Homo-oligomer: A and B are copies of this chain.
Amino acid sequence: MSANPEPRDPAGETLLSAAELEARLQQIGRERYHSLHPFHKLLHGGRLNRGQVQAWVLNRFYYQSRIPIKDATLLSRCEDLELRREWRKRIEEHDGWPAGAGRERNEGGIERWLVLAEAVGLPRDYVVSTEGLLPATRFAVDAYVHFVREKSLLEAVASSLTELFAPKIHEERIAGLLQHYPFANERTIAYFKRRLKEAPEDVKFGLAYVIREARTRAQQEQVLAAVRFKTDVLWAQLDALHHAYVEPGHVPPGAFVPEGPQEWQASA
């Protein structure tokens, strides 16, 4: 009798090691993360006009606005105090807090996004109303909230792990926006700067959680499927933007229609 060199789960299936699981997650990022999408290449390369950037900021706001709802949904399903404590930080970061109790005021990620929206020429109220949103954006983002409500807690946590791939795209975006667009400055791109710091902290916890809690191969596969699902959610949003605003004549009924001069003006 020789010792079995491969760990197996209770169903007799081969378990992935922590390193293998993480390698497969990284592979999903290399193949499917929305950094590969042509719309992002246009955005980061300075090849989008004013209305196209407005459409991106307007639609992406809906994603931002649902994130605390998504995270509160996860919290509401969670009986593990340690996980709750860790996860609630995400809601705080996004919704912000006033100065006090030894902490500086944090206007929050949603407010930082609205600063960007105003900088590209969108009225704040219009953005908040979500009037003008592409229906496909709403469906994709709501699919994410529903996923977190309806799937296992493990899958809900796993769906956040696209944060593994986020710092690279944020770096590209910060550099690209500052280089190419007159609206971009330290104040207006603060959202991305902050995420550059937050995302690695958040993902460290999430990754350790799924490595620990996925105890069968089937659960490990669920973790991978959850991350693929999330890359679909992100990709579909850019497909909808690309179809409606890059290719002429495809804005769906009721959605935002850019107005006024579309070339960029040097900022005042």
Q: Enumerate chain B residues within 8 angstroms of A247, measured Cβ to Cβ.
A: 243, 247
Question: Would you give the shortest CB distance from A24 to chain B, in whole angstroms?
Answer: 15
A247 to B239 Cα, complex, angstroms: 12
Interface with B: A81-89, A138-146, A166-174, which one?
A138-146
Q: Does A213 contact B (CB under 8 A)?
A: no
Partner of A139, one of B236, B244, B254: B236
Q: Enumerate chain B residues within 8 angstroms of A139, measured Cβ to Cβ.
A: 136, 139-140, 142-143, 233, 236
Contact check, B254 vs A135: say whether CB atoms are below 8 A apart: no
Q: Does A160 contact B (CB under 8 A)?
A: no
Q: Enumerate chain B residues within 8 angstroms of A228, measured Cβ to Cβ.
A: 254
A209 to B36 Cα, complex, angstroms: 48
Q: Does A50 contact B (CB under 8 A)?
A: no
Q: Enumerate chain B residues within 8 angstroms of A232, measured Cβ to Cβ.
A: 135, 138, 252-254
Q: Does A72 contact B (CB under 8 A)?
A: no
Instruction: For chain A, residues 197 to 252, give those with C-beta under 8 angstroms from any C-beta of chain B.
Output: 228, 231-233, 235-236, 239-240, 242-244, 247, 250, 252
Partner of A136, one of B142, B146, B236: B236
Q: Does A31 contact B (CB under 8 A)?
A: yes
Contact check, B253 vs A243: say whether CB atoms are below 8 A apart: no
Q: Enumerate chain B residues within 8 angstroms of A243, measured Cβ to Cβ.
A: 239-240, 242-243, 247, 250
Partner of A239, one of B142, B233, B240: B240
> Contacts A136-B240, A139-B143, A146-B142 given: A235-B250 contact, CB under 8 Å?
no
Partner of A143, one of B31, B143, B233, B254: B143
> Contacts A232-B135, A235-B135, A247-B247 given: A32-B253 contact, CB under 8 Å?
yes
Known: A138-B143, A239-B244. 11 other contacts (CB 8 A): A134-B236, A135-B232, A136-B236, A139-B143, A139-B233, A228-B254, A235-B252, A236-B252, A239-B252, A243-B247, A247-B247
